[in-house]
């Protein structure tokens, strides 16, 4: 591990960071700092190796004319001072008046983002997005909800809401309550649609898979009925994207049963 908190050598593709600006103590300090972190130096585009085995700093007073192709090749571009061409999409613009500590922190953050691939979703985002895709399979005309059950960061089951297996789909008139467009929270006993969480748990049962100690991701916070099923199935954590309005007793029940429940909002 280096000072970025990541292993520099473990990146599939080496990084080139361009530092552009007039010579100044600040640009020197940034350059030296990157060198200390294992970045090699390069002063002209001709010197850029074809097969990079090392991360590089490319330092220039001005942008080279072929900066667009360098950017396409993945160069991260940092401008120190006022950008001469304001239209250039620099990844970071640092003022020469900025303190060295502050500038280094900004640069380090940018490097770390690029090394770790900030585009990569976190586990929460990954599973919640999969739950969201599952919700798209829902045949319910009232609401589309998706759920996944995860154990050891692996999906063991998925579910979405809708009428039971082998019966007419909700969107084909299979559920009288949904077809009647009952107000939220009313005539619940007439609803034939199973909930996404319920279906994720029963699908696991269908395949003889245990969900004990699992974590359930749902695009909507569970209702009281699903909460009871979640507790008794042995699931220990629930993550939801959007909170259902009438859920106080559900939260209390989870708390009493020792189940962690938390919100994870997809952006």
Encoded one letter per residue, x for contact with Zn ion by CB under 5 A and - for no contact, window 171-190 reads ----x--x------------
237-242 vs 215-220, strand pairing mode: parallel
User: Which residue stretch of 25-33, 61-69, 80-88, 217-225 sits at the interface with Zn ion (rule: CB under 5 A)?
Assistant: 217-225
Q: Which among 68, 72, 190, 197 is annotated as catalytic?
A: 197
76-80 vs 92-94, strand pairing mode: parallel
Annotated catalytic residue 197: yes
User: In the bound complex, what is the minimum distance in angstroms from residue 161's beta carbon to Zn ion?
Assistant: 7
User: In the bound complex, what is the minimum distance in angstroms from residue 251's beta carbon to Zn ion?
Assistant: 14
Cα gap 226→216, rounded to integer Å: 11
Can you spell out the DSSP letters for 196-226? HHHHHHHHHHHTT---TT-EEEEEE---HHH
Does 226 participate in binding Zn ion (rule CB under 5 A)?
yes
Which residue of 80, 107, 149, 170 would you call a contact of Zn ion, by CB under 5 A?
170
Which residue of 193, 200, 230, 235 would you call a contact of Zn ion, by CB under 5 A?
193
Determine how many CB atoms are found less than 10 A away from the CB of residue 121.
12
Encoded one letter per residue, x for contact with Zn ion by CB under 5 A and - for no contact, window 130-149 reads ----------x-x-------
Closer CB to Zn ion, residue 180 or residue 234? 180
Cα gap 235→245, rounded to integer Å: 23
Q: Cα-flanking dihedrals φ and ψ of residue 257, to 5°?
A: -80, 0
Which residue of 17, 34, 42, 223 would you call a contact of Zn ion, by CB under 5 A?
223
User: In the bound complex, what is the minimum distance in angstroms from residue 214's beta carbon to Zn ion?
Assistant: 17
For residue 90, the SS3 value is coil
Does 201 participate in binding Zn ion (rule CB under 5 A)?
no
DSSP secondary structure letter of residue 194: B
Judge whether 144 and 207 are in contact, CB under 8 Å: no
Interface residues toward Zn ion, by CB under 5 A: 140, 142, 170, 175, 178, 193, 195, 223, 226
Active site residues: 197
């Amino acid at each position: 591990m280096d000072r970025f908190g990541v292993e520099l050598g473990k990146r599939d593709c080496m990084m080139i960071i361009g530092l552009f600006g007039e010579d100044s103590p600040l640009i020197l300090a940034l350059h030296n700092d990157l060198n200390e972190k294992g970045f090699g130096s390069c002063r002209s585009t001709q010197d850029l190796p074809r097969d990079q085995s090392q991360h590089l700093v490319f330092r220039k007073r001005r942008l080279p004319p072929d900066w667009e192709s360098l950017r396409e090749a993945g160069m991260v571009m940092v401008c120190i001072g006022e950008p001469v061409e304001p239209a250039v999409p620099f990844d970071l613009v640092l003022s020469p008046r900025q303190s060295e500590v502050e500038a280094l922190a900004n640069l380090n953050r940018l490097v770390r983002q690029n090394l770790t691939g900030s585009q990569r979703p976190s586990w929460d985002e990954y599973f919640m997005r999969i739950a969201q895709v599952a919700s798209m399979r829902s045949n319910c005309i009232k609401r589309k909800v998706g759920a996944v059950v995860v154990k050891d960061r692996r999906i063991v089951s998925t579910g979405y809401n809708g009428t039971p297996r082998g019966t007419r789909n909700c969107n084909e008139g299979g559920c009288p309550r949904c077809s009647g467009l009952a107000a939220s929270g009313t005539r619940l006993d007439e609803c034939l649609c199973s909930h996404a969480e319920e279906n994720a748990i029963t699908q696991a049962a269908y395949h003889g898979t245990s969900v004990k100690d699992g974590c359930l991701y749902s695009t909507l916070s569970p209702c009281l009925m699903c909460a009871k099923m979640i507790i008794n199935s042995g699931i220990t954590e629930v993550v939801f994207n959007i909170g259902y309005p009438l859920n106080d007793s559900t939260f209390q029940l989870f708390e009493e049963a020792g189940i962690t429940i938390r919100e994870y909002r997809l952006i």
